[in-house]
């Protein structure tokens, strides 16, 4: 080290490693600006934060920025720290520059554009994004549309990349520059020091030993007060890199197996004295229909004056069974199908793309098949889109009707009804859905997943004067699809078996929010769930918790289904006392709502306890103030997490293997 102390500044700046260090500092600055862009773009999600806490979030983000930059520039790093004289060559350093600037530019792009995408999934984008959209044939068009819609972010991204390129510092050398013959020996200590800092940066700690585990995404919890703040601490390149590959679950062993089964078991068997009701079952999963968009479901929050954007669904609520406390388990479309149709929640990883996506499952389709039901799944996007086709087959659906089947039906207008981005317009596809159900065998269980209420939030031109954009671009799409559902039911009423059909309507997840009440860790999962039986007496508004994973058990209970099955939910008709709760996963926190309490848990320790009915914005953390309540909720939550992991690992999501 004495060698470096005696070096002149001019000589020091000719070291390749120093070139990397200077540009690394510039990259850290640029990534910090990306975080500012992210925070400002989503400021409504973080209202109420004081300045010291914001500084803490940004300081925590520095650890993840350092790690991400090391990951992205590893090739340039290796090239520039080598203690050999050929690293002085001009062409060599030019190549090293490109291996630095290009990856950092990619990092800037995904960081900036995630500032917009965060509003749709409430977390940083990770590697699952590439799997989720791997089957999209029009991905380039969707990407271009995103660039056009968020043009201001394009400008920001270009500006930040320009800073990186403009201030990239290169040693002013020519090929004749030489050092002494002892250069390699003298520079070796610096090389070793750089390697140490690289390892420390990747691990997030200066302690590089077996006792100090490397940093992961959960380390963001150290800086946050609520789960969505982890997105501020993290950065998108880091999330993508760290989630590349499949996640392997491990049994957390909170309880011994015998005790676990006594605390919580996902096995259900509703023994009935009455006979099975062979009703047709129709399940509508509505894209992005947050509970916020309903006027009727928000009277307690916003009063009678709030009319919402779902007049038909609100009218249907008066003839249906629903609850005031209805929630999704995840924030992505790919999480809704397993939850709604198979009682499999989003906990830890997306079932579609995880290590255990080929596990055997029981679903509403496979279980009702034992009672002689035919089953079919409908989605107006290109066949295979979002992985829905694959999961429908895994779940036991006998047939799948997508864009291909729609276009082959001469009663409709084929690709003329395509919205240009995702799928067939909802109105046309729901009419196709209704027509198809008139032709399939009875009894049946069918599911239709709508698509129009999705970015870029377009509706058919013929409705441009009828459904106007409200406080958010999505609201016109919500009104359009609500009207499409009205027309769908008008068609369904013409069938003689209409009264013998149970309709279930829910949503995959929430989307754009214009009330801060729906940006909290709890309410961001609020979606509608209703059961409608035209000829039945299934009417009422319950106070019980009703989650997506409760839908399959509830349907089976209503039909008097008497065979055992596995579901991480329960019939809402049987919920009381100990089993009346809902669990969801707001990465990286597990959450449980029980009674008047709401608990957050990071897998190791409790992070927050709130009383949402009195504290809508979850500002008053009551952690450690109600130890008995915390212990009770934590016991339930841990038991379900352990059962989920254990059964995923063991492939025991059905009764018989």
Give the alpha-carbon dihedral of 238, 243, 248, 252, to 10 degrees.
Answer: 40
Mean pLDDT of the 181-203 span: 77
pLDDT of residue 2: 46
- Give 424-438 as a DSSP string: B-HHHHHHHHHHHHT
Distance between first and last Cα of the chain: 65
Contact call for residues 527 and 327 (beta carbons, < 8 A): yes
Side-chain-side CA neighbours of residue 339 (13 Å): 31
The residue among 17 and 603 whose pLDDT is bigger is: 603
* Sign of the torsion formed by the C-alpha atoms of 580, 584, 586 and 587: positive
Q: Hey, which of 170-179, 353-362, 572-581 has the most confident mean pLDDT? A: 572-581
Strand partners, 530: 322, 505
Mean pLDDT of the 459-488 span: 93
Nearest-Å Rg of the Cα atoms of the chain is: 28
CA distances from 470 to 183, 299, 302, 476, 522 (A): 68, 19, 17, 7, 24
- Bridge-based pairing state of the strands 444-449 and 399-401: unpaired
Mean pLDDT of the 529-541 span: 93
Strand partners, 377: 400, 447
- Whether the per-residue pLDDT at 5 is higher than 80: the answer is no
pLDDT of residue 172: 66
Distance CA 125, CA 114 (A): 7
- Whether the per-residue pLDDT at 546 is higher than 60: the answer is yes
- Bridge-based pairing state of the strands 589-594 and 374-379: unpaired
Which pLDDT band, with edges at 50, 70 and 90, does 127 fall under?
confident
Which pLDDT band, with edges at 50, 70 and 90, does 650 fall under?
confident
Distance CA 525, CA 641 (A): 18
Which pLDDT band, with edges at 50, 70 and 90, does 274 fall under?
confident
pLDDT of residue 131: 65
pLDDT of residue 135: 66
Contact call for residues 238 and 113 (beta carbons, < 8 A): no
- Whether the per-residue pLDDT at 174 is higher than 50: the answer is no
Q: How far is CA 128 from the centre of its chain?
A: 9
pLDDT of residue 212: 53
- Whether the per-residue pLDDT at 582 is higher than 90: the answer is yes
pTM of the model: 0.81
- Whether the per-residue pLDDT at 359 is higher than 90: the answer is no
Lowest mean pLDDT among 217-226, 369-378, 402-411: 217-226
Contact call for residues 309 and 480 (beta carbons, < 8 A): no
The residue among 120 and 482 whose pLDDT is bigger is: 482
- Whether the per-residue pLDDT at 412 is higher than 50: the answer is yes
Distance CA 84, CA 603 (A): 47
- Whether the per-residue pLDDT at 1 is higher than 50: the answer is no
Q: Report the mean per-residue pLDDT for the chain.
A: 88
Mean pLDDT of the 117-138 span: 74
Q: 82: left (phi > 0), else alpha (psi -120 to 50), else beta?
A: beta
The residue among 184 and 575 whose pLDDT is bigger is: 575
- Candidates 497, 490, 620; CA nearest to 225 is 620
Lowest mean pLDDT among 82-96, 376-390, 413-427, 576-590: 82-96
Distance CA 113, CA 86 (A): 39
Contact call for residues 563 and 549 (beta carbons, < 8 A): no
- Give 511-569 as a DSSP string: ---SSGGGSSTTGGGB--EEEE-TTS---EEEEEEEEGGGHHHHHHHHTT--S-EE-SS
């Amino acid at each position: 080290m004495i060698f470096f102390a005696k070096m002149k500044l001019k000589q020091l700046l000719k070291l390749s490693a120093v070139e990397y260090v200077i540009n690394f500092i510039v990259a850290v600055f640029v990534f910090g600006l990306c975080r500012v862009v992210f925070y400002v773009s989503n400021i409504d999600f973080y209202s109420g934060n004081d300045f010291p806490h914001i500084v803490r979030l940004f300081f925590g983000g520095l650890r993840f920025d350092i790690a991400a930059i090391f990951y992205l520039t590893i090739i340039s790093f290796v090239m520039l720290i080598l203690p050999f004289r050929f690293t002085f060559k001009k062409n060599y350093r030019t190549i090293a520059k490109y291996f630095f600037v290009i990856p950092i530019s990619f990092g800037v792009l995904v960081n900036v554009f995630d500032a917009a995408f965060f509003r749709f999934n409430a977390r940083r984008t990770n590697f699952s994004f590439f799997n989720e959209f791997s089957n999209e044939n029009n991905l380039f068009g969707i990407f271009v549309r995103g660039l056009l819609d968020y043009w201001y972010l394009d400008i920001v991204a270009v500006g930040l990349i320009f800073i990186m390129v403009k201030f990239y510092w290169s040693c002013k050398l020519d090929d004749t520059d030489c050092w002494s013959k002892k250069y390699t020996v003298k520079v070796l200590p610096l090389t070793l020091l750089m390697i140490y800092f690289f390892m420390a940066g990747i691990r997030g700690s200066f302690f590089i030993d077996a006792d100090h585990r490397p940093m992961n995404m959960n380390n963001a919890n150290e800086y946050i007060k609520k789960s969505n703040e982890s997105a501020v601490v993290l950065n998108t390149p880091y999330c993508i890199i760290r989630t590349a590959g499949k996640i392997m679950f491990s049994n957390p062993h909170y309880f011994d197996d015998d005790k676990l089964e006594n605390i919580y078991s996902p096995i259900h068997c509703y023994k009935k004295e009455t006979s099975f009701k062979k009703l047709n079952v129709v399940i509508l999963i509505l894209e992005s229909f947050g509970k916020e968009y309903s006027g009727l479901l928000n009277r307690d929050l916003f009063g009678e004056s709030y009319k919402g954007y779902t007049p038909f669904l609100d009218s249907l609520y008066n003839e249906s069974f629903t609850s005031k406390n209805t929630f999704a388990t995840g924030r992505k479309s790919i999480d809704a199908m397993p939850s709604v149709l198979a009682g499999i929640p989003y906990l830890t990883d997306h079932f579609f793309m995880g290590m255990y996506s080929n596990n055997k499952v029981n679903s509403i389709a496979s279980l009702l098949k034992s009672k002689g039901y035919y089953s079919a799944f409908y989605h107006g996007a290109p066949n295979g889109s979002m992985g829905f086709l694959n999961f429908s087959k895994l779940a036991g659906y006998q047939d799948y009707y997508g864009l291909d089947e729609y276009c082959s039906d001469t009663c409709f207008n084929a690709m003329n009804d395509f919205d240009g981005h995702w799928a067939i317009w909802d109105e046309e596809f729901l009419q196709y859905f209704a027509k198809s159900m008139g032709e399939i065998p009875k009894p049946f269980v069918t599911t239709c997943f709508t698509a129009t209420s999705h970015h870029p939030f377009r509706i058919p031109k013929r409705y441009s004067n009828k459904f106007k954009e409200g406080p958010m671009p999505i609201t016109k799409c919500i009104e359009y699809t609500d009207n499409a559902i009205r027309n769908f039911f008008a068609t369904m009423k013409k069938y003689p078996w209409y009264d013998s059909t149970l309709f279930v309507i829910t949503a995959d997840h929430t989307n754009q929010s214009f009330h801060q009440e729906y940006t909290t860790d709890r309410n961001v999962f609020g979606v509608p769930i209703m059961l409608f039986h035209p000829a039945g007496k299934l009417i009422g508004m319950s106070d019980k918790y009703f989650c997506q994973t409760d839908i399959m058990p509830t349907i089976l209970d209503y039909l008097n289904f008497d065979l055992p099955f596995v579901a991480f939910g329960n019939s809402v008709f049987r919920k009381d006392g100990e089993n009346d709760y809902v669990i969801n996963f707001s990465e990286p926190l597990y959450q449980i709502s029980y009674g008047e309490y709401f608990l957050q848990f990071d897998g190791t320790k409790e992070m927050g306890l709130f009383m949402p009915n009195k504290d809508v914005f979850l500002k008053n953390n009551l952690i450690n103030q109600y130890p008995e309540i915390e212990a009770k909720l934590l016991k339930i939550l841990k038991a379900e997490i352990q059962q989920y992991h254990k059964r995923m690992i063991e492939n025991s999501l059905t009764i018989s293997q």
